[in-house]
Amino acid sequence: MSEPAPESIPPLTSLTEEESLLRDTVRQFAQQEIGPHVRAMDEAQHLDPGILRQLFELGLMAIEAPLELGGAGSSFFSAVLAVEEISRVDPAVAVIVDVQNTLAVNAFLRWATPEQQRLWLPRLAQQTVCAYALSEAGSGSDAFSLSTQARSEGNNFILNGRKLWISNAMEADLFLVFATINPAAGYRGITAFLVERGTPGFTIGHKEDKMGIRASSTCELLFDDCRVPASNIVGEPGKGYKIAIETLNEGRIGIAAQMLGLAEGAWSLAVKYSKERKQFGKAISEFQAVQFALAEMATQIEAARNLVYNAARMKCAGVPFVKEAAIAKLFASRVAEQVASQAVEIYGGYGFVRDYPMEKFYRDAKIGSIYEGTSNMQLATIGKLILS
């Protein structure tokens, strides 16, 4: 029999007054301010700068950072709620909020020096996007087979290499870059560096033309004798692997929240459409087949919500959550694909054309089983932990 949840973890789907207010505020913002721009941003493959500015103004870009450093002084769970609510309208916009909070700000709070925190956290809260640069051409699921190297030279490190699939690269002014200072040491040589946009030897390369979440930029990063001061190391030299492992474990809850929000958005629109679309003289919502489909979708969403909230509550309570995060991401990404696919079918022919929102939800859903750990990697993690 499993151990009962610690008393410090509230009931999964209940929200505090502060959390409810945040959810309602973000939901209204997403519907009113993001909603009208979703299609245009998707077609242009570009995040509206006005929306990015509003994300900062609403305090959504450093939710966990303390008030004295410009942040919202709130919780990881609140960041997860924000990602979920934005994803109901546009999962692409949610990417920038997710990466900023669950990866970048999280890394600063746990691993940066007090000086680095005082310098950067106010900027991350107010105006600066930070991208997370780990992946490479030969380093995907095998995250630590890095070829990007950093050699020591006086009080500096010289970075050389290439990163791929870096989210938010076009919008970012700061990059958390993982490179090895000792290839012979394997993962124990990996070190995390802060690299600012405009640093000589550092350029933003090719921007990917993606199937989904197209308003979210995904680019390669090129380092050619890029000189970075040793004071820009985050954590300790050779301990970058620990930063990557622990932040990605938390980041997976954010991706699960993104997929949960996507499924909720697709389902709610499918319900609305089913009441409006008439065939054989009545709304298709009156047909049992459609009712059963919507019921199955609602059941999957409710299960995913409990898994996501459970993992987030556990993280906030300071109890082990790695297995629960992997389960949440695995399940929520599957639910997003299934719900989006079924919603397309409920829309019928209209679900297959870009004049209606369903085909975008369907395209956006696929990435959930790929980034921040593929579904197979989540299964491997779950299997290892349940058998340990």
Catalytic residue among 85, 250, 324, 372: 372
CA distance 201 to 213: 29
Per DSSP, which regions of the chain are E strands?
130-133, 149-153, 156-167, 174-180, 190-196, 202-207, 218-229, 233-234, 278-279, 282-283
Q: How far apart are the first and last CA of the chain?
A: 16
| Signed CA dihedral, 316, 127, 53, 93: sign only | negative
Judge whether 277 and 297 are in contact, CB under 8 Å: no
Structure tokens at 6: 């610690």
In b/e form, how buried is each residue of 344-374, taking b as 16+ CB within 10 angstroms? Answer: bebbeeebeeeebbbbbbbbbbbbbbebbbb
- Cβ atoms < 10 Å from Cβ of 209: 8
CA distance 12 to 302: 11
Judge whether 166 and 215 are in contact, CB under 8 Å: no
372 annotated active-site? yes
Find, among 82, 374, 375, 53, the residue nearest to 72 by Cα. 82
Q: What is the CA radius of gyration of the chain?
A: 21
Cα dihedral 324/96/39/373 (nearest 10): -40
Residues marked as catalytic: 372
